[in-house]
Amino acid sequence: MEKIIRIKSSSSDEIYSVVFKNEKDLISLNCNCKAGLFDTLCKHRLCLIERDYKDVLDKDEAILLYDTIVKNNKSEIIESVIEINLLETEIKKLGTKKSKLKKDIGFKFSNGF
């Protein structure tokens, strides 16, 4: 089975195509955006796994994709995406903490410690 899911770019008027294939127990998602062409995880493929369909032109196709992933016991990819999101949240919190510590140290250097 092969389906093309069209997704509007969030930063321009461009429309990207994510080709969804389900063949011989393998599922693949390929996007024609710049990141996708370099086999990097792009936000267009990621939004389909995260079920964020606001920029998807045919939401029924996106739902079919997600259901196919779940039905074919490929939920480990969904779990990996969830783990990435958790790590990104932790990284953001650490970055905030790091910035605050740098600011505090800079203040102490300037005003005495």
> How confident is the model over 96-109, as a mean pLDDT?
96
Contacts of 56 (CB under 8 A, 6+ apart): 5, 6, 7, 8, 47, 48, 62
- In the prediction, which pLDDT does 15 show? 97
pLDDT per residue over 34-66, tens digit each?
A: 999 998 999 999 999 999 999 999 999 999 888
- In the prediction, which pLDDT does 71 show? 84
Q: What's the pTM?
A: 0.73
Residue carrying structure tokens 């693949």: 28
Distances (CA, A) of 73 to 14, 26, 76: 33, 11, 8
Which amino acid is residue 43, in one-letter code? K
pLDDT per residue over 22-38, tens digit each?
A: 988 888 999 999 999 99
